[in-house]
Amino acid sequence: GGGTPPPRAPPPRGAGAGRAAERSEAFADWRENGGVAVTTFDALHLLPGAGASVRPGMLVVDEAHFVKNPAARRSRAVAGWADQVERVLFLTGTPMENRVEEFRSLVRRLRPELAPSVSGTHGAAGSQAFRRAVAPAYLRRNQVDVLAELPALVQVDEWEEFGSEDRAAYREAVASGRFMRMRRAAYAVPGSSAKLERLRELVDEARDNGLKVVVFSYFREVLATVGDALGPDVFGPLSGSVPPARRQELVDAFSAADGHAVLLSQIQAGGTGLNMQAASVVILCEPQIKPTLEHQAVARAHRMGQVRTVQVHRLLATDSVDQRLVELLARKDRLFDAYARRSDLAETTPDAVDVSDAALARRIVEEEQQRLADDARRP
* 283 within a domain of the structure (yes/no): yes
User: What own/partner pairs with CB < 8 Å and gap ≥ 24 does 221-228 have?
Assistant: 221/184, 221/187, 222/184, 222/187, 222/285, 222/286, 223/264, 223/265, 223/266, 223/285, 225/187, 225/190, 225/193, 225/196, 226/187, 226/196, 226/199, 226/264, 226/285, 227/264, 228/190
Cα within 13 Å of Cα(21), Cβ side: 5
Highest mean pLDDT among 50-59, 71-80, 234-243: 234-243
* 179 within a domain of the structure (yes/no): yes
Q: Are residues 82 and 195 in the same domain?
A: no
Q: Are residues 192 and 311 in the same domain?
A: yes
Q: Are residues 180 and 309 in the same domain?
A: yes
Q: Are residues 126 and 266 in the same domain?
A: no
Q: How many domains, in total, are found in the chain?
A: 2
Strand duo 261-266 + 310-317: pairing: unpaired
* 3 within a domain of the structure (yes/no): no
Indicate the pLDDT class of residue 356, thresholds 50, 70 and 90: low
Q: Which of 44-53, 62-71, 182-191, 294-303 has the lowest mean pLDDT?
A: 44-53
Report the predicted TM-score, pTM, of the whole model to 2 decimal places: 0.62
pLDDT of residue 91: 79
Q: Which of 6-20, 63-77, 322-336, 342-356 has the lowest mean pLDDT?
A: 342-356
- Give Cα separations from 305 to 7, 107, 143, 365 (angstroms): 33, 32, 14, 42
* 353 within a domain of the structure (yes/no): no
256-297 tens-digit pLDDT: 999 999 999 999 886 566 778 888 899 999 998 877 788 888
User: At which of 276, 295, 317 does a domain end?
Assistant: 317
Closest Cα partner for 242 from 272, 271, 217, 265? 265
User: At which of 94, 121, 143 does a domain end?
Assistant: 143
Q: Are residues 157 and 259 in the same domain?
A: yes
Q: Are residues 212 and 80 in the same domain?
A: no
Arithmetic mean of pLDDT, 117-129: 54
Task: Give per-residue burial for 317-330: e unless 16+ CB within 10 Å, then b.
Answer: beebbbebbeebbe
Cis peptide before 237 (omega within 30 of 0): yes
In whole angstroms, give the CA distance from residue 368 to residue 166. Answer: 16
Arithmetic mean of pLDDT, 297-302: 84
In whole angstroms, give the CA distance from residue 73 to residue 46. Answer: 11
In whole angstroms, give the CA distance from residue 55 to residue 307. Answer: 43
Q: What contacts 363, CB < 8 A, 6 or more positions away?
A: 355
Q: Are residues 113 and 151 in the same domain?
A: no
* 195 within a domain of the structure (yes/no): yes
Say whether 156 sits in a helix, a strand or coil: strand
Higher pLDDT, 331 or 339: 331
90-116 tens-digit pLDDT: 877 666 555 666 777 777 777 777 767
Assign residue 76 the CATH number of its domain.
3.40.50.10810
Assign residue 269 the CATH number of its domain.
3.40.50.300
Given a contact cutoff of 8 angstroms between Cβ atoms, the answer to whether 306 and 298 are in contact is no
Arithmetic mean of pLDDT, 167-191: 94
Domain span holding position 252: 145-317
Q: Are residues 139 and 178 in the same domain?
A: no
* 361 within a domain of the structure (yes/no): no
pLDDT for 85 beyond 50:
yes
In whole angstroms, give the CA distance from residue 325 to residue 167. Answer: 18
Say whether 263 sits in a helix, a strand or coil: strand
User: At which of 98, 122, 143 does a domain end?
Assistant: 143
58-81 tens-digit pLDDT: 889 887 777 777 778 888 888 888
Given a contact cutoff of 8 angstroms between Cβ atoms, the answer to whether 77 and 44 are in contact is yes
Q: Are residues 98 and 210 in the same domain?
A: no
